[in-house]
Structure 1
Amino acid sequence: MLGDRIKLLRNEQGMTQEQLGDYLNLSRSSVKGYENDGVEPSLSVLVKIADVFNVSLDYLLERTEEKYNINLLNEAAKDFLLKIIKLANDYKITKK
């Protein structure tokens, strides 16, 4: 659900509902309504939320699990980003 995705993104950033509301120029209760799926945000608010968290609308609306739309990048940037993503996925942290 959209509300779950908004809450997940907000928590990943360590952001409160009030802080997100400030970024969106909305009240904390509006953000709470979005997260509880009691209130449906307008398209302009959805775009602002996607911009705040730097994710695609498709990810925000749970149409994909890919957070970022790399298709909007030029080929060189896309290749570079894919290499970085592969390196990050291959990197393993081990405990001594």
Structure 2
Amino acid sequence: MLGERIKLLRKDQGITQDQLAEYINVSRSSINGYENGGVEPSLSVLVKIADVFNVSLDYLLGRTEEKHNFNLLDKYTKEFLFKIHELVNNYKIIKK
């Protein structure tokens, strides 16, 4: 699950394994290992990967399908922020 998520996020962002490796200061072969399940990243590397893709660790580890964890008590505010996030992402797609 973790490797699949990393690969999916990387491809969605148009980032190569080399670029991701450079962003988080590991080797390309480490990224390949994470994606193929042969190597488990350390917690500090997981945090860096989550930061690069702006997703929660729970999403990255397959514990939830919700990419972003706003940790809000007010469900209306949370729904509002999700709608804004969706609009921004749609705008980026149209702008490309």
- TM-score calculated relative to the size of structure 2: 0.79
Alignment of 1:7-86 (within 5 A): 7-71=7-71, 78=78, 80-84=80-84
Runs of 4 or more above 3 Å deviation: 72-80, 85-88
Q: Which of the two has higher C-alpha Rg?
A: 1
Q: CA deviation at 1:75?
A: 8.3
Q: Tell me, which stretches of 5 or more residues in structure 2 are unaligned?
A: 89-96
- TM-score calculated relative to the size of structure 1: 0.79
Q: Tell me, which stretches of 5 or more residues in structure 1 are unaligned?
A: 89-96
Query: Which residue identity lines up with residue 44 of structure 2 in the other structure?
Result: S
Matched residues, number? 88
Pairwise CA RMSD of aligned residues?
Answer: 2.5
